[in-house]
Structure 1
Amino acid sequence: MVDIDRTAREYAREAPDERPLRGYATVLGVFAAAAGAVAGAARLSGRELPVRPSAGDVALLAVSTHKLSRLITKDAVTSPLRAPFTRFEEPAGEAELNESPRGHGARHALGELLTCPFCTGVWVAGGLAAGLVFAPRLTRFGMGVATAVAGSDFLHLAYDAAKRAAAGD
């Protein structure tokens, strides 16, 4: 059996900041339990995974996962959800914030998860994939909305860049 406390101490000696291995293990355990529960529920309900997801679903899943993970981890309006686990650092561009994790253990691990769009993307994609199994029509509609918002974001940024270029900035 692995002594998690000893392993964490040895691991932390090589890291410049805290590495909350026990917190990470908790977060990983929750993800694995949720994935297992979804798989079990799918099996019990007789729902089958597609042999191969359609290209359209993969594209919607990719763009909507990008948008939703940024909304969760960076958007100013969702900062109250992150505040128990993060510390405000500075504004970060268009309606986004830079925050850092706070606390120790599971709180710090959740702070890292909630400030990292790459990390949160795994959870978002997993949730959307589960939605495609249990409520595909509603999930595709939601993914379409998130994809439209992502497209709108890119158009806003392109418009602002074009205005700056026209003004000679």
Structure 2
Amino acid sequence: MIAWIDFLLLFLASFRLTRLLVYDKITAFIRRPFHREAEETLPDGSTIAYIEIKGGGLQKWIGELLSCYWCTGIWTSAFLYGIYVYMPDLASPLILILAIAGCAAIVESIIEKLIF
């Protein structure tokens, strides 16, 4: 069993890494080979954007994975826990940086909801 503080850091790091891969613009280049952005014009003239999964086989599987927050979260959690256990010298700074960024993202979301 791991200490509660390690669990908390892994939780926050997994949250941040998952959001980074699934939603953030800075990692769009990772999703681009697997997703196609499309737009649909609604009857009222407004448009909505959505993604279409590209290809088949492994390409489609990765595309589906990167479009699913919960699915990607399982894999990022497994990855972070794996390096935490087997490569602690590499994992410690990565997990700490992601956890700090995760806290900042949560605080920013709360402040944004309070202000707007």
Fold match, TM over 0.5?
A: yes
Q: Which has the higher contact order (CA 8 A, sep 6+)?
A: 2
Q: Which has the higher strand share?
A: 2
- Measured in 1, the distance between the counterparts of 2:50 and 2:26 equals 13
Name the SS for the 1:59 alignment partner.
helix
TM-score by length of structure 1 reads 0.57
Say whether 1:109 aligns with 2:58.
no
Following TM superposition, where does structure 1 have runs of at least 4 consecutive aligned residues deviating by more than 6 angstroms? Answer: none
Structure 2: unaligned runs, 5 residues or longer:
40-48
CA contact (8 A) 1:74 1:98 kept: no
How far apart, in 2, do the equivalents of 1:62 and 1:126 lie? Answer: 11
Q: 1:153 aligns with which of 80, 105, 113?
A: 105
* Pairwise CA distance, 1:137: 3.7
1:48-81 C-alpha deviation (Å, 9 max, x unpaired): xxxx111111111111111101101111110111
Which runs of 5 or more structure 1 residues have no equivalent in the other structure? 1-51, 91-96, 165-169
Matched, 1:138 2:90: yes
Letter in 1 for 2:13: S
**Among 85, 95, 98, which residue is 2:34 paired with?**
85
CA RMSD, aligned part only? 2.0
Quick one: distance in 2 between partners of 1:117 and 1:140? 24
How much does 1:157 deviate? 2.1
Once residues 89 and 156 of structure 1 are traced to their aligned partners in structure 2, the CA distance between those partners, rounded to angstroms, is 29
Aligned CA distance change for structure 1 residues 140 and 89 (closer, same or farther; 3 Å): farther
Q: Percent identity?
A: 26
Q: Is the Cα contact below 8 Å between 1:100 and 1:112 reproduced in 2? A: no
CA distance in 2, matches of 1:89, 1:149: 30
Counterpart Cα distance in 1 of 2:51 and 2:96? 28
TM-score normalised by the chain length of structure 2: 0.79
Aligned residues: 107
Q: Which residue of 1 aligns with 2:52?
A: 100
Greater C-alpha Rg: 1
